[in-house]
Structure 1
Amino acid sequence: MRTNKLLLVFFCFCVGLATSAQSARIEGIILDKNNQPVDNVNVFCLGKTTQSNTNGFFDLAVPANQKLVVVFTHVSLKKTTVSIVLKSNEDYEFNLVMNDHEEQMGEVVVIAKNKKRVQGITTIEPEVIRKIPGANAGIENILKTLPGVNSNNELSTQYAVRGGNYDENLVYVNEIEVYRPFLIRSGQQEGLSFTNTDLVQNIDFSAGGFQAKFGDKLSSVLDITYRKPVKFGANLEASFLGGSLSIDAVSKNKKWSAVTGVRYRNNSLLVKSQETQTNFTPTFADIQTNINYQASAKWQWSFLGNISQNKYQYQPLTRQTNFGTIDNPMALSIYYEGQEKDKYDTYFGAIKTTFKASSNFTLKFIGSVFHTLEQEHFDVFAQYRLGEVDANIGSDTYGDVSFTRGIGSQLNHARNDLDALIINTEVKGFHDWKENQFEWGVKYTRESIRDKIVEWEVIDSAGFSINPPIVILPKNDQPYTAYTGPLVPYQNVRATNFNTINRFSGYAQWSSKGNLGSNEVWYNAGVRMHNWEVSGDNVMGKSQVTFSPRAQFAIKPNWEKDMVFRISGGLYHQPPFYRELRDADGIVQPNVKAQQSIHLVLSNDYSFKMWNRPFKLVSELYYKSLADVNTYTIDNVRIRYAANNNAKGYAQGLDVRLNGEFVPGTESWFSFGYLKTEENSNNKGYIARPTDQRLKFGLLFQDFMPNIPSVKIYLNLVYNTGLPGGSPSYADPYLYQNRLRDYRRADVGFSKVLIDNSTGNSNSGWFKSFKELAIGLEIFNLFDNQNAITNTWVRDVYSKNQYAIPNYMTTRVFNIKLSAKL
């Protein structure tokens, strides 16, 4: 307790990252009545001005979070005025048709967030993501503070939403679906998330009830847009965990623009804070670029590319975990030999082109290739002592094992290799007609998977080999009677799979805005189709088809209070991806059916002012009825499926989020979530699913240090009740139900802006080249909570007992960060 108090006092003098000016950008193409581009149009706003180029393109940086009037003038065309309200860092596209016979006065009010509000989409500011502390900072770090989003692993970028698992979440970057590695089994192996937060412009997130235009997953959609730079710039960040560099580049004629990022990550600081002492030499690095080309007023091209290489080399040395009770303290001491060498190389490239045939019709073509080469090789030999701990404070052996109850050893071996190639081609169409919008899309996907699995485990206790309980063997009465049965590995998985999956999918949807009496209403209805077939060596699955109708309805009553009510849902299918086809023995089952879910989401969005500052309270009540469920177990972040559809289930809950300016000029929020999800396999009865996270509290808070406005404080706090898990992977969940301990974590950061040229903080010397310069201190796991991700099961041949020893996550860690903006 005293240590925590001293830390809190010390934090008052700590420093952190820079804050940036609240700005946004409006861009677009100006056409005449014949749909021809108009050049030399003057665009004015608050003393700032620009001109459209020969293609009619313009862009203008404007202040955010205030009402602005943008004026368009031309020597031969009538003046146009537009009133806009844009959010911080928002990139809003506004295409204008100017004419020569009337002046367009009055106001065209453009508030981009209204559309997302009625769709039930949560928008997150990129600047918040870049500054909130976290052991695995990034977009996923912020998502874990939202209601309905759960994770109890700070080293992982994986998250579960409303009772789903990690494989049930869609992730798009610039409308292009992205994928995560296949063979990852622990969070510390993951390294870098695909999304580079330094390149991000917009982040939208939907936790359920999403529209038909989004793909075929059961749980959530994360829709990310990378920015289009308007001038040269650079961002640099370095810390004890690695560093990153991003560069914005724009050609003189504004036709070409590119944003490129390079990242390096080393988790040694975090991994070495765990109980297992290791030699740990990982290298996680990637380079990513988004290139845009404005070919003409109607045609745009872009390229998104990523190359990443994650090398994970792990050599455990020793470990001691204390557990038990005050009256009966126990400890597990382990001595290791061997090492783990994993490697994940991914290559991703996508081309996207947008053709604006007219002001009411737009076509998009998207083509992408994802290639991953993965290997998971390890031989780790562990020798352990299980015994009672010397709890005598005055003893020379205090904290050591004083009496050994059991000894044993364990050997884990794996030679797993995977080569996956995924190709996508897609065409989308957008039609606007009065207050109606029609969208459609057709997509073809080919997945080629080459997978070889060889992994086994041998367990020895007191010199006697332990056979697996799931195998019927002769009676084992060791050590009193000699065992004469065969010696087999405790776990043994061997398989080779060469498979191809061909998919055809498409969607069509209609959206409209209107009035119901004096109330504003929004409608959306659509349907998705998905056809797939699995083939391969000695494998031929049947062709399967699903149809998924979905709808949304929102109403904004003509009340004094600013409220929106929304109901959404429909039928959602998740055709199996490769991981879902592979059973616990590593064998591909080609005829696994799509999991099915009926969603119903009721929500209320209430915007109000408190202390004369904006706030929003969003409440959502949801229910999911699940059919054809493919049951699974989770070990750390590794999911093993049964590869059948022998279960049904449900998920129900309530999510509440209050966000706003608790401190003027900053956004903070408080989240609460209640969830209950159960499954019934083969009519055995309902039991908790592995992601049954009953209660969740999340807090994201920003503040200024009193009397020192250049110092900011960031707090990221999460509390989750314990997940079902930690039982042996072979255990029947109907016979063995166990929950891990509650997950509690607080990360805090303090920051000091050294240079901020937007406020005239620095105006001399070589510092002129910096727009911002900041240094900061982050403290991960502020209160040093012991959070367990799994259990290690130790077996004692004499007592016939098995002991569950928790595998704890990271302890308190300090990190220093330096950031600069040019």
Structure 2
Amino acid sequence: MNKLIALLILFISTTAFAQSKPFIYGIVLDESGQPIEGVYAYYDTSKGRVETTTNRNGVYKLDIPVIEKVTVWFSHLSFKGLYAEIANLSPGESFEFNFTFKPDTQVMPILVIDKETGRKQLEGITTISPDLIKNIPGANAGVENIVKLLGGNSNNELSTGYNVRGGNFDENLVYVNDIEIYRPFLVRSGQQEGLSFTNTAMVKNVDFSAGGFQSKYGDKLSSVLDITYRTPERFGAALEASFLGGSLTVEGVSKNKKWGAIVGARYRDNSLLVNSQETESNFRPTFTDIQSLVTFNPNEKWELSFLGNISQNKYQYQPLSRQTNFGTIDDPIALQILYDGQEKDEYQTYFGAFTAKHKISDTFSLKLIGSVYHTQEQEHYDILAQYALGDVDTNIGSDTFGDIQFARAVGSQLTHARNDLDALIANAEVKGYHTLGKSQIEWGAKYTREDIRDRLVEWEVIDSAGFSIRPPVVDIRNDQPYNPFTGDLVPYNNIRSTNFVTINRVSGYAQWSHKTNWGDSEVFLNAGARVHQWQVDVPDGSGKSQIVVSPRAQFAIKPNWEMDMLFRLSGGVYQQPPFYRELRDSTGTVRPNVKAQKSIHIVAANEYSFKLWDRPFKLVSEAYYKKLDDVNTYTLENVRIRYRADNAATAYAYGVDVRMNGEFVLGTESWVSLGYMKTEENLNNRGYIARPTDQRLKVAILFQDYVPNIPNLKAYLNLTYNTGLPGGSPSYADPYDYQSRLKDYRRVDAGFSYVFVNVGDKKITPPKASWLKPFKELSLGLEIFNMFDNQNSITNTWVRDVYTKSQYGVPNYLTSRVFSLKLLARI
């Protein structure tokens, strides 16, 4: 009996193991449509060759390794060889690959069959090519620069921050190799942000989701940017240099291919950009970082890696003078300011993460992640601004043409800050991956400890025509001249606080994914949930323990139609437990019992792949709706966010995003994106008003082209148009009293380059010069930022006219037209 049971168990396990192997299959035909017998199909592994041949009906079947990339060759004596790269097939999964062999005189193309790409399409994730990211021109070129094509918005070319579908800069998840990445805390101005964490030269793959993402991604309200760094396969080096800085990346592997390392160093100097602004200054913001990824694969079961980053951002600013002309032709006005003082800010961050992935079986893997993030940040400034607001001399023949002829208002402003922050964040996480036939189960658990030490000292004194301006919050009656005013002389703005905060978090998720067929249609299902528990500890008393649960689901169907169409519906509950900045209100006080903001997402999408001019195109349309509760409202000045920390509002956001990408020019990919969005909030039941990120209309175009007779000469255009954001109101003003908007944001960045070598571009003839042979890529180009010199503003400076008692919103303009050279080299 025991032997029978043992044999039965052995039979069942052997059958299950056999069924778990993925495979490709198909029919091979000749040009007349007849099957070809004896086509040899094979691929090589470290254990030997796996092979098969087609039968007399031209049919073949070939087993493929689980979740690995292999190159399968197809050959026959009478036909030219063909090979296809097969990647990311799950256990038990099959892929049908039929093709027609052409005569030996024909050159067969290379085919790439990546099931991972198809899976991400079903999950609503957009994959971005690293080459596209590298070539797109922009003042802050990189991954974030392309997010605006995919549902994100940004009205500041000096900032790497972006907001997605009505969310703010703190509502976006960023991962590198499954490791969560953090942003600096004390960011006050886009000019201070420095480099993005992501080193473009190290990127293998970029995935982006603008909403409705799965439970395996963390607890944020808006979006996910999931980046994978590449694992080195050979020695290589890449250099990028321009007037804005440069980067150097080196990679290599050991002789036994078990060790690999890639190291990238970047330096950026924004002087060229910021000195194009209208404020004359001694200004040199510099940013430096070094990143490394070390991998070790001792055997087929283990994958070990270390990701490290050290960055230093220095922002040294000494303004001298500024004159801004505005108003109308009939009534031209100018604001003239003389400055004294300086600002010295510095941000140093240290990040290290270790990951270990163990393949327990073909159907079960575990991944362990441990990471530490340490940041030391300071904002120190004392700046005195003495201003005059008046009428401009418009007499062209006058010696004072363009200067202020008559001052309507004079005054001064003194700002002071001594802000210091030290934060240490440690994470320990475990993830599990199970494959059960056509289903996948993923789960994870994570512990996080955040230790924050923060000193906030800021004050501002405003003098207008000899009178000190009191704070905008009126708490003392002043009925001069009937009665003398005896109140204290106080700053217009005064914030002082010292906070020591510890936050302990435990979170986890579980989700199920299943891919099947419904009749002739392909169907994908996903369902899961997240749970998050946290508690905030402060010296004068701990906050209460809080817990939230977030269920999420996705459904996608790809009908077996003549048209290549995909329909997708996703949504769920997305809750964002407060981070440190969300706990600190506008006075600097930490409120430990702030609740998680809650958002219900519904996203409906359609993807249509088609051919136009016999070239591939894709049209993606997404409609979305978000209902938000327990909203932690905030004010937004440039990119600084000041929360009210009271969960006193409700909000909503809805809109439509449409984008099309394809070969508008043969052999190059271009993108066109159009979006409409509306988001409003209701604070304390006072009625709905526009949120600070209510950007109604967005148009973005990335266009690539080349000269047909000179394919080495290429051009890239990055065009952006966004309608104006709310934000034209004075600081600390009641948003219900001020709902003015900034002007529309319009910008065109252009890049022109001559490519001497690019191994991956078939249009470019291989180099004949011997000195070019070591290079895999070499190009030299010209970049023009803000090509049409549009005057875009990020905020307004508000000045009072003592005579008319009016306030003037004087725009703070961003960068003007700037030229730069760019060199790219890769060996």
Among 284, 298, 311, the alignment partner of 1:308 is 311
Match of 1:770 in 2: 775
Q: How far apart are the structure 2 equivalents of 1:242 and 1:707?
A: 33
Match of 1:116 in 2: 120
Q: How far apart are the structure 2 equivalents of 1:110 and 1:165?
A: 34
Match of 2:823 in 1: 818
The yes-or-no answer on 1:238 pairing with 2:241 is yes
SS in 2 for 1:282: strand
Q: How far apart are the structure 2 equivalents of 1:438 and 1:82?
A: 36
Q: How far apart are the structure 2 equivalents of 1:171 and 1:572?
A: 16
Match of 1:375 in 2: 378
SS in 1 for 2:800: strand
Match of 2:62 in 1: none
For residues 243 and 109 of structure 1, do their structure 2 counterparts lie closer, same or farther at Cα, with a shift above 3 Å needed? closer
Match of 1:808 in 2: 813
What's the CA shift for 1:396?
2.2
Match of 1:590 in 2: 592
Match of 1:63 in 2: none
Q: Is the 8 A contact 2:661 2:671 kept in 1?
A: yes
For residues 703 and 49 of structure 1, do their structure 2 counterparts lie closer, same or farther at Cα, with a shift above 3 Å needed? farther
Match of 2:623 in 1: 621
Q: How far apart are the structure 2 equivalents of 1:261 and 1:548?
A: 38
Q: How far apart are the structure 2 equivalents of 1:382 and 1:109?
A: 62
- What whole-Å deviation, never above 9, does each CA across 1:395-444 have from its counterpart, x for those lacking one? 22211111110110000000000000000111000100111000000000
Match of 1:6 in 2: none
Match of 1:645 in 2: 647
Q: Is the 8 A contact 1:390 1:399 kept in 2?
A: yes
Match of 2:800 in 1: 795
What's the CA shift for 1:93?
5.0
The yes-or-no answer on 1:660 pairing with 2:662 is yes
- What whole-Å deviation, never above 9, does each CA across 1:16-73 have from its counterpart, x for those lacking one? xxxxxxxxxxxxxxxx98999xxxxxxxxx999996447999xxxxxxxxx9960499
- 1:514-533 aligned at under 5 Å gives the runs 514-533=516-535
- 1:181-196 aligned at under 5 Å gives the runs 181-196=184-199
Match of 2:441 in 1: 438
Q: Is the 8 A contact 1:55 1:296 kept in 2?
A: no
Q: Is the 8 A contact 1:82 1:109 kept in 2?
A: no
Q: Is the 8 A contact 2:41 2:72 kept in 1?
A: no
Match of 2:490 in 1: 488
Q: Could you tell me which amino acid in structure 1 is paired with residue 313 of structure 2?
A: N
Q: Could you tell me which amino acid in structure 1 is paired with residue 119 of structure 2?
A: K
Root mean square deviation of aligned Cα: 2.7
For residues 96 and 119 of structure 1, do their structure 2 counterparts lie closer, same or farther at Cα, with a shift above 3 Å needed? closer
Match of 2:132 in 1: 128
Q: Is the 8 A contact 2:508 2:532 kept in 1?
A: yes
For residues 83 and 206 of structure 1, do their structure 2 counterparts lie closer, same or farther at Cα, with a shift above 3 Å needed? farther
SS in 1 for 2:119: helix
Q: How far apart are the structure 2 equivalents of 1:477 and 1:394?
A: 46
Q: Is the 8 A contact 1:280 1:313 kept in 2?
A: yes
SS in 1 for 2:668: coil
The yes-or-no answer on 1:247 pairing with 2:253 is no
What's the CA shift for 1:737?
1.1
What's the CA shift for 1:802?
1.7
Q: Is the 8 A contact 2:189 2:640 kept in 1?
A: yes
Q: How far apart are the structure 1 equivalents of 2:136 and 2:668?
A: 12
Q: How far apart are the structure 1 equivalents of 2:581 and 2:239?
A: 37
- 1:208-287 aligned at under 5 Å gives the runs 208-287=211-290
Q: How far apart are the structure 2 equivalents of 1:603 and 1:35?
A: 32
Q: Percent identity?
A: 65
SS in 2 for 1:573: strand
Q: Could you tell me which amino acid in structure 2 is paired with residue 649 of structure 1?
A: A
Q: Is the 8 A contact 2:542 2:592 kept in 1?
A: yes
For residues 109 and 452 of structure 1, do their structure 2 counterparts lie closer, same or farther at Cα, with a shift above 3 Å needed? closer
Match of 2:205 in 1: 202
Which runs of 5 or more residues in structure 1 are unaligned? Answer: 1-31, 37-45, 58-66, 74-80, 87-91, 98-103
For residues 539 and 802 of structure 1, do their structure 2 counterparts lie closer, same or farther at Cα, with a shift above 3 Å needed? farther
Q: Could you tell me which amino acid in structure 2 is paired with residue 795 of structure 1?
A: R
- What whole-Å deviation, never above 9, does each CA across 1:588-614 have from its counterpart, x for those lacking one? 000000000110011101011111111
Q: Is the 8 A contact 1:83 1:109 kept in 2?
A: no
Q: Could you tell me which amino acid in structure 1 is paired with residue 823 of structure 2?
A: L
Q: How far apart are the structure 2 equivalents of 1:258 and 1:122?
A: 28
Q: Is the 8 A contact 1:520 1:557 kept in 2?
A: yes
What's the CA shift for 1:155?
0.3
Q: Could you tell me which amino acid in structure 2 is paired with residue 217 of structure 1?
A: K
SS in 2 for 1:458: strand
Among 676, 694, 697, the alignment partner of 2:696 is 694
Q: Could you tell me which amino acid in structure 2 is paired with residue 695 of structure 1?
A: L
- 1:4-19 aligned at under 5 Å gives the runs none
Q: Could you tell me which amino acid in structure 2 is paired with residue 802 of structure 1?
A: Q
Q: Is the 8 A contact 2:166 2:694 kept in 1?
A: yes
What's the CA shift for 1:376?
0.4
Q: How far apart are the structure 1 equivalents of 2:259 and 2:74?
A: 24
Match of 1:509 in 2: 511
Q: Could you tell me which amino acid in structure 2 is paired with residue 419 of structure 1?
A: D
- What whole-Å deviation, never above 9, does each CA across 1:698-749 have from its counterpart, x for those lacking one? 1000001242110111000010001011212211111111111100011011
SS in 2 for 1:539: coil
Q: Is the 8 A contact 1:659 1:669 kept in 2?
A: yes
- Bigger CA drift: 767-776 or 328-337? 767-776
Q: Could you tell me which amino acid in structure 1 is paired with residue 125 of structure 2?
A: I
- What whole-Å deviation, never above 9, does each CA across 1:756-800 have from its counterpart, x for those lacking one? 467564344443332222110000111111111001111234432
Q: Is the 8 A contact 1:85 1:111 kept in 2?
A: no
Among 559, 575, 585, the alignment partner of 1:573 is 575
For residues 205 and 434 of structure 1, do their structure 2 counterparts lie closer, same or farther at Cα, with a shift above 3 Å needed? same
Q: How far apart are the structure 2 equivalents of 1:54 and 1:341?
A: 60
Q: How far apart are the structure 1 equivalents of 2:526 and 2:664?
A: 34
- 1:745-784 aligned at under 5 Å gives the runs 745-756=747-758, 761-784=766-789
Q: How far apart are the structure 2 equivalents of 1:240 and 1:681?
A: 47
What's the CA shift for 1:85?
5.7
Name the count of aligned residue pairs. Answer: 753
What's the CA shift for 1:516?
1.4
Q: How far apart are the structure 1 equivalents of 2:71 and 2:297?
A: 26
Q: How far apart are the structure 1 equivalents of 2:612 and 2:97?
A: 34
For residues 402 and 49 of structure 1, do their structure 2 counterparts lie closer, same or farther at Cα, with a shift above 3 Å needed? farther
What's the CA shift for 1:515?
1.4
What's the CA shift for 1:248?
1.4
What's the CA shift for 1:818?
1.0
What's the CA shift for 1:249?
0.8
Structure with larger RCO (C-alpha < 8 A, sep 6+): 1
For residues 187 and 362 of structure 1, do their structure 2 counterparts lie closer, same or farther at Cα, with a shift above 3 Å needed? same
Q: Could you tell me which amino acid in structure 1 is paired with residue 284 of structure 2?
A: T
Q: Is the 8 A contact 2:521 2:559 kept in 1?
A: yes
- What whole-Å deviation, never above 9, does each CA across 1:561-610 have from its counterpart, x for those lacking one? 01010110011100000000000000000000000011001110101111
For residues 764 and 705 of structure 1, do their structure 2 counterparts lie closer, same or farther at Cα, with a shift above 3 Å needed? closer
Among 310, 316, 321, the alignment partner of 2:324 is 321
What's the CA shift for 1:112?
2.9
For residues 384 and 48 of structure 1, do their structure 2 counterparts lie closer, same or farther at Cα, with a shift above 3 Å needed? farther
Q: Is the 8 A contact 2:42 2:73 kept in 1?
A: no
Match of 1:101 in 2: none
Match of 2:558 in 1: 556
Match of 1:165 in 2: 168
Q: Is the 8 A contact 2:91 2:435 kept in 1?
A: no
Q: How far apart are the structure 1 equivalents of 2:205 and 2:824?
A: 21
